[in-house]
Each structure stands twice: as structure tokens, then as C-alpha cells.
Amino acid sequence: MLSHLILSSRKQLKIDYGRIVGLTVTTLQLAKLQECTNSMPHKITAWMKIQELYMPVVAKQCSLDNRLANTNADEVPIYSIPLYLPSQLPARTRNQCPQKFLEYESKLREAEAYKCLDELWQHLHLRSYEWNYKKRHTTGQSAQTWAQNLIVRVESKVHMSASNYNTAHNAMVNLGTILHIQPAWQRSLKNLDQDNIWHLSEAKNGESEGRRKLSWIWMTEGVASDDDR
């Protein structure tokens, strides 16, 4: 699905732009980033034309020309231009979208949520390892600073994965109000709060070793186990 390709490309483009801030990058890296940036408007335009054909209600709300012309590249990055997927529309407008489009996006968002949850799982493992390594093996100011910078980078990935998961989850909730079904994902994909984001080896405040509880993210089907890696 074209919208899936655009969503994935936009996320990667946003990550790449974030990585180059304050860093010295090569000419080749800048060229690849510019190539991705230049191709994004063509993908978005193709998606808008599909919307004009199958989702005329979106065209009425925000036409192709208005969406592109009113977007100032200096104020709104290319990866932030709205795609107006069914879940992002007002409820009354969403009701007028084809049923198939609602079902397609629901499946897309479900797969995206599981992927984000798996990425969060990996980042939490890495964060726990970095914490333990710093505590046990790192001495000296230089080494401490180096280790802390690694932890900060991993922490940003944890927040990014959690944010992406919540975006997908909120989209599924919005679509569920229109589809009028009890989807299977509700049993495993829950609302992700900050209190749910901790590693298997970590205890929440006030919990003893013997009374430690697992966060629901570690008991969800679909998240890869050690045997799968």
C-alpha cells in the first residue's frame, strides 16, 4: 500500500534529519538525504491523486493544490505534511471513506504497532545493558561521559518507538469506532503509558525483588522472543 511506503519513508527521513543535527556529515550522506527528500513530494502527490479518486471527501476538505501550496518548506518539513489517512480525519468525514480503506489502514496500523513494540523491546534491552555496563565497568570522567552519551541515544530511541506505537494505537482506536467490530488486537495491544516502559530486570518504585510485576509489553503475543532472534 502506497500510504504504508510513505509512512515508513517519512519516519526514516525524520530520523535521518535528526541524526545530522550538530554532526559533520559527508557529501555522499547529504546527497542521499537530499535524494530521499526530493522523492517524497512525488510519493505524496501520487497518494493524493488516489485520495481524489477513491476518497473525494478528502479532496473537498483539502485539495491537492492547497495542501502543497500552503505548506511552507521552511516551517513544515516534508516529512510532516499531513497524509489525511482515514484515522486522521474528523469522525463525520471518516464515515464517508470506503470501508475497504478503513480496513486496510487498520491492518497497516496493527502491523505497525507490533513492529514498534518489538523495537521498544530491543531498545529497552540495550538500555539495560548500557546501564549495567556503566555501573560495573566504567571509571573516569571521559569514560563516564562516553557511556552516558550512549545511554542518552538509546533513551531517545525508546521514546521514539513508544511515540510511534501510540500513534498507531490511537489510529486503530479511531478506526474501530467506525468499523463497529471487536478487533482481536485489543486483547494484546493496550494503551502505552510511561509507567509501562521498563525492562524485565527493572523494578518499579516501591517494588521488592519478590513482588516485581511484568509490564504488559513483555506478555504481548507478536513481540519476538530470544528464540526468534
- pLDDT (tens digit per residue) in 58-85: 776 665 445 555 554 455 677 777 788 8
For residue 23, count other CB atoms closer than 10 A to its CB: 7
Domain match, 117 and 67 both: no
The rounded percent of the chain whose pLDDT value lies above 70 is 73
Q: Please give the residue that has the higher pLDDT: either 225 or 63.
A: 63
- What are the grid coordinates assigned to 188, written together? 494484546
pLDDT of residue 190: 92
- Which of 111-120, 130-139, 180-189 has the weakest average pLDDT? 180-189
Q: Specify whether 64 is located in the same domain as 116.
A: no
Q: How many Cβ atoms sit within 10 Å of the Cβ of residue 71?
A: 16
Residue 171 domain-assigned (yes or no): yes
Last residue of a domain, one of 84, 108, 129: 84
Mean pLDDT of the chain: 78
Q: Are residues 58 and 114 in the same domain?
A: no
Give the pLDDT of residue 229.
Answer: 39
pLDDT in tens, 155-185: 988 998 999 999 999 999 988 888 877 678 8
**Are residues 183 and 176 in contact, defined by beta-carbon separation less than 8 angstroms?**
yes
Q: Give 212 or 144, the one with higher predicted confidence.
A: 144
Task: Count CB atoms within 10 A of the CB of residue 221.
Answer: 9
Same domain, 117 and 198: yes
Domain extent, residue 64, equals: 1-84
Residues 131 and 198 in one domain: yes
